[in-house]
Chain A
Amino acid sequence: MPTSPSKRSRNLINLVSGSLPLQFHECLNSQKYAILHALRNMSDIQLENDIEDEDDMDRTNTSTSQNLDELLCGTVERGEGNSCLLLGPRGTGKTMMLERALSKISSGDSPPVIIRLSGWLQQNDRLAMREIARQLREQTGASFLSAEVEEETHDRDDEPNPFIDNPADDPETSVAEPSPTHLPALIAVLPTLSRASIVILEGFDLFALHARQALLYCLLDTAQSCRAGANSKGLAVVGLTTRVDTINLLEKRVKSRFSGRILRVAPQTINYWRRLTKAILCVFVGEDAFTDEEDLAQWRTTWETRVQQFLDDKSTLQTLSETFSITKDMRMLTAVLTSTVVTLSPEAPWPTSSQFLTSAEIHRVRPLYPYLHNLPYSAICLLIASVHAGTAGYSVVTFDMLHEYFRDQVRSSTAAPVQINGGSIGMTFETLVAAKIFVSVTAPSWNTAKEFTKYICVVEREDVKKAVDKGGMIPLKKWLNKAQ
C-alpha cells in the first residue's frame, strides 16, 4: 500500500448536500477510468497472496500453464512437433493463458512464426489455407501460395528473409482461393521455415466439421512426423475449444495423429472472484492527474474504506455468489463490475450493493420483457386480447382476431379511453411484432393480407397479468380477469 499511515488516519470525505465536494470530482473520474482500464486488462492484475489461494482450481490452472509453456518451449527450442488441446468452459481464460505463454516464448531468442486461425472465420479449408499463406507471408516475407509446388524445392536452400518488407507480388495471389490439392504442400512448408511455427486453432471443434478434416489431418500429421534434430524446425498445433467431446469428433486417422494431450483449464473459484473484485476496485489512481496531493490521499483512504464496506456487505457477497453459481464466466464479472462502476456519479460516488444487484440482474439472466408494463394502452390491450384468444383455445392468433376481441371489449365497457376506428392499433401491433412479442408462425406471403398473418404471442399470461397490475388500470384488470 503506497498510502502512508499518517494519511490513512485522515478524515473520510463526506458528501456535501448529497454530492461529492467539487475538488474530488476529478478523483472519481480518474478512479472510474482506472477501474475500467483494469477490467480490460485483467491478466495484469496482481492478486494478494492468500493462504486460501492454493485451492484445487488454481493448481489445475497452474499446472496447465506450466505444461503449455513446456510444450511450446520444446517446439521452439528443440524443434519438436507437438499438438495439444486447451479445453475449458467459456470465459475461463484459455486465450489469456495461451497469450501469456506466447508472449513469453516470443520474447525469447528465436521468436516463432505464429499462425492464428479461427473456426468462426475460416469456415472451410480453402479459406484456412489462404489465411495461412497470408500470415506466413506477413511474418516471413515470402509467398507460398502462388507457385509453392515449384518453389517447394527452393524453399529448402534459400531461406526466406524475415526482414524483407512485403514483397511486391501481385495482389491477386491472396485473393484467389487456392485449390484444395495444394493443402499438403502448403502445410509441409511449415517445418521447413527458418523459425519454429505455432498454429493456433480457435474453435477447434469447428475445424473438425470441415470436409474430410483435411486441414487437421495435414497439420497434425506434419506435427507428428516432425523429427527433432533434423534440418527442420518445430511445429506446434494448439487447439482451443469449449466442447468436451471434441476428441470424439475427430476421424480415426486424424485422432491417431493427435498427441492426445488435453490441457484442462478450470474456472476460477468464488474466492478468486472476491479477491479479484477487491483488487480491481482498489486499483490506484495515477498521481499525475492531481495537483493537490492531500486531496488525493484523502480520496484514496475514503475510496478504500467505501470499497471495503461494499465488499463486506452481506448482500454484495450474496449477489456475487449467486452470479457465480449461474455462470463462472469471467466476462460476466467484468460486465457486472463495469456496469456498477460506470453508474457512479458525484451524487452517488460509492459502489453500493443495490447498484451491484441491479447490474447483475441486467447482465445475468435477462428478464424477457422488463418494459412490458410501460407499453402504451393499446399494446396492453392487444396482449390481453391474445390471452383471451389463448383461453378460448386458439393456439395462434391473427390481428383481425385480436382486433375483434378489442372491439367487443370497447363496445361492452364504457370505460375504454380509446377510439377503435383508424389504423393506430394496427401500428401498435406492428411495433409489438418488431419487438418480437408477437412472432409470425407462417412465412410472409404476398397474397395474404397483413391482418390475417398468423402469430403466436411470446409473452406468458402471468407476465401480462403482472404488467397489467403494475400499470394499474382497473378496466384492463377486469378485462383480463374475465379470461379464466
Chain B
Amino acid sequence: MASNPLLYHHHRLREVSFLLHASPSPFIFINDPISPRMTTQAVLGALSSTTSTTISMHLVHVNAVTCFSARLLFDAILNGLAQWTPSWEEGCTNWSGPNDTRRYNESLDAFLRGLKTLYSFLHHSDSNLPRVTRFVIVIERVERLKDRLPDLIVPLTRLAEMTRIDVTIIFVSSGRWDDMRPSLGASPDPYFVDISIPTKEACVAHLCSVFQSCQTEPNLSLNPYHPALEGIHASFASILCDACFPFTNDPDELAYAAAARWPGFVQPILDNHAMERGKDDSNLTERDDNEHLFTDDAMLVDDTHDFVTPPEEVRMRLNRYFKPSITAALEQLYPRFSNAQDWADANKPSPEALEIVFPVHRVDHLSKPRIGVTVKEKPAEPYRNLTRMSKFILISSFLASMNPAKSDLRMFGRGLDEKKRKRRRITKAPSAKIKSGPIKIPQHFLGPAVFPLDRMLAILGALLEENDNDDNFRPSKIDFSIPGEYTDMEVSRVGVCSTIIDLTSSRLLHRTSPVERLDGPPMFKCGVSYDVVLGLAKELDVPLQDLLWDSL
C-alpha cells in the first residue's frame, strides 16, 4: 500500500531515520492525529530501506491492538527481533535463546533477560565487523497499551536503562503522550516527533503514488491503471481531494474512495478509445485487407500507441459529470456502509456517460446531463415485515422512552366524558430563582430512557384504543360493556408478551434489567431511531408528533 513511504511527510521521517542511525534517544514518541498506520508503515519503510555499514539494526513492529496481553507483547517483540517465526511442526515454540529452553514471556523480568540474551546473541553473531547492534522496537497504537497493560508503559519507556543495551523504543499514536503519561513522572519524557496534518498536495501525491503502484506489468492493453492515464488521474485525484477534504484528510480513506470511483470515472475514456480504435481498425482492415500486415499480437502491443490524452474540455465534462458521485462515494465508503468493490460495481457509469463526456457519440439529444451516480438502491426495509402489533409496540416503546413518565396521564389519559384531554405544555414561567448547576439536557439528545414494561403496555393500550378500534375487525360475539375493555384484553394477551421477547432478541428493544430478576417489572429501552418510528407511525396513521412531549 505504502508504495513510496517517504513521499508524504517525508522530512520528519528522514529526521527519525537519521536519528536512529546515529545515536537515538532511547524513547521516541511519534504523534500523528490522522493516520498513525501510514506513519508506522513509512517509518518502517524508511528504516528498512537504508542500510548502514556500522550499525546492524534489528527492527520489530508491534501493534498494541493485537498484543493485548503482556505475554503476547513479549513474544511478539522477541520473535520479531530474532526474526523467528513459530512453526507448526516445531510445536509453535517461541524464540528461546541460543541454547536453552527458557521462557521469556513469563514476566517482565524474564522478558528483560530475554532481551539481553538476544542482544548478546545477535551481537556475537554479527561481531565479525566492528558494528553496533541496535534494537528498534516500534509500537503502534500505544493508546491501547494504556487501556490494556498500563503497568507496562513505564518499563517499556525505560527499557534502555533497565536492560543497559542499545535499544530504542518508538511509540506511534494518534493520541497525545500527555493522555497516557504515567503519574509521578515515572517515565522519562520522550523525544517528540509531530507529524503534521497532510495537506491537499500531499494527499494528491499519495494518491498518484498509489496509482503508480497499481500498474500491472506488462502494460499491453489500456486498463484503468495504465501509465498513459496518469495525467487524467492527477486531475481526478485533485477533484477527489477537493470534494472529500471537508470530511477527511486521511490519505488512506481518500485512496479507498479513489479506488472505488476511479474505474468508473475513467470508463468513458476507455470506451471512447475502444470505439475510436474500432473505427480505425475497420478502416485499417478495409485498406489492408489483402496485405494482413498486422497480426493479432501486434495489435495487442499497439493498443495504446495511438492513445491521446483527451483535451481539457473533455476532462471538464468528465469532472462535472462525476463530481457529485465522489461525495456520494465518500458518504457510503467512509463509514463503510458498503465496500469499495461493491460500490464500484453498483455505480458503474451508464452508457449515457460516454455520450455526455464525448458529445461526438451522441445519437439523440438528451434532455439534460445527469450526474454520474446511479440511483441508490434502497436498503431492504427491515421493518416492513414486522407484524402490526410489533409496529405498535415499537411506537409505544419509543414514546415510553422519550416522554417523561409524569406526562403520560396528560398525553394519553381519558376522562369519563370520553373526550381526550388536550395536550398542554407547561410554558416556562419566568421563575425568580435560577437553578444552579448544569441545565438538564433534553431527552431526545440523550437517547431513549429506560421504562418499565407496565408503562409501555399502558401506552400501547391507549394507542390501540385510539388508532386501532375499528369495530369491523372485532369479534362481535363477546360483549364488552366498558369502553376500552376489549383493548385491555388485547394488550394482556400472551402474544403481546412473546412479541416483546421477539423484538428484544432482534435488538429492536433492549432489555436493561437482568433476566433472572423476579421482583419488579422488567425494564426496557427503545432500540430504534426516531426516523424509523416516524416511518412506522406514518404507515399506521398514528400522529406521532402530537404524542411526543418534547416535539423533535
Contact = CB atoms under 8 A, between A and B. Distances in A.
Contacts of B327: 419
A394 B439 contact: yes
B381 to A, nearest CB: 17
B23 A431 contact: no
A398 B447 contact: yes
A121 B155 contact: yes
Interface string B237-275: 000000001111110000000000000000000000000
A418 B246 CA distance: 7
Given A171-B100, A171-B101, A363-B192, A452 B154 contact: no
7 contacts: A121-B112, A242-B185, A334-B25, A371-B196, A374-B196, A422-B332, A422-B335
A482 interface: no
Nearest to B176: A436
Interface string B142-174: 010000000100110010011000000000001
Interface stretch (A30-38, A178-186, A249-257, A260-268): A30-38
Given A37-B23, A374-B249, A449-B447, 8 more contacts: A91-B188, A335-B191, A366-B192, A376-B247, A418-B247, A436-B175, A452-B446, A452-B448
A479 to B, nearest CB: 15
Nearest to B331: A422
A468 to B, nearest CB: 15
B447 A401 contact: no
A451 B446 CA distance: 9
Interface in A304-360: 329, 331-332, 334-335, 338-339, 342-343
A41 B525 CA distance: 63
Interface residues of B, number: 67
Interface stretch (B78-86, B103-111, B213-221, B423-431): B103-111
Interface-central residue, B102, B106, B335, B447, by most chain A CB under 10 Å: B447
A131 B108 CA distance: 11
A68 interface: no
B437 to A, nearest CB: 9
Contacts of B191: 335, 338-339, 363
B346 interface: no
B247 A342 contact: no
> 4 tightest A-B contacts by CB?
A452-B447, A422-B331, A423-B335, A377-B246
A40 B23 contact: yes
A127 B109 contact: yes
A445 B34 CA distance: 26
Contacts of A451: 447
Contacts of B106: 175
B335 A374 contact: no
Interface in B523-537: 525, 527, 529
A454 to B, nearest CB: 8
Interface in A90-112: 90-91, 95
A246 to B, nearest CB: 12
B452 interface: no
B413 interface: no
Interface in A37-52: 37, 39-41
Interface-central residue, B23, B154, B155, B438, by most chain A CB under 10 Å: B23
Contacts of B34: 431
B320 interface: no
Contact of B447 (A95, A123, A448): A448
Given A36-B23, A400-B444, A120 B158 contact: yes
Interface residue range, chain A:
35 or more
Interface in A128-174: 130-131, 134, 171
A305 B435 CA distance: 69
Contacts of A419: 327, 331
Given A175-B110, A343-B15, A424-B247, A370 B103 contact: no
A423 B441 CA distance: 24
B246 A427 contact: no
A331 B190 CA distance: 9
A421 B249 CA distance: 19
A424 B330 contact: yes
B77 to A, nearest CB: 16
B33 A371 contact: yes
B448 to A, nearest CB: 8
Contacts of B112: 121
Given A175-B103, A428-B248, A331 B334 contact: no
B446 A36 contact: no
B416 interface: no
A412 interface: no
A16 interface: no
Contacts of A447: 510, 512, 525, 527
A192 B133 CA distance: 38
A3 interface: no
B186 interface: yes
A90 B185 contact: yes
A118 interface: yes
A335 B25 contact: yes
A120 B439 contact: no
Interface string B175-215: 11111000001101101101011000000000000000000
Nearest to A171: B102
Nearest to B153: A120
B525 A332 contact: no
B25 A401 contact: no
Interface-central residue, A37, A417, A435, by most chain B CB under 10 Å: A435
Nearest to B444: A400
Nearest to B100: A171
A417 B197 CA distance: 21
Contact of B438 (A123, A371, A393): A393
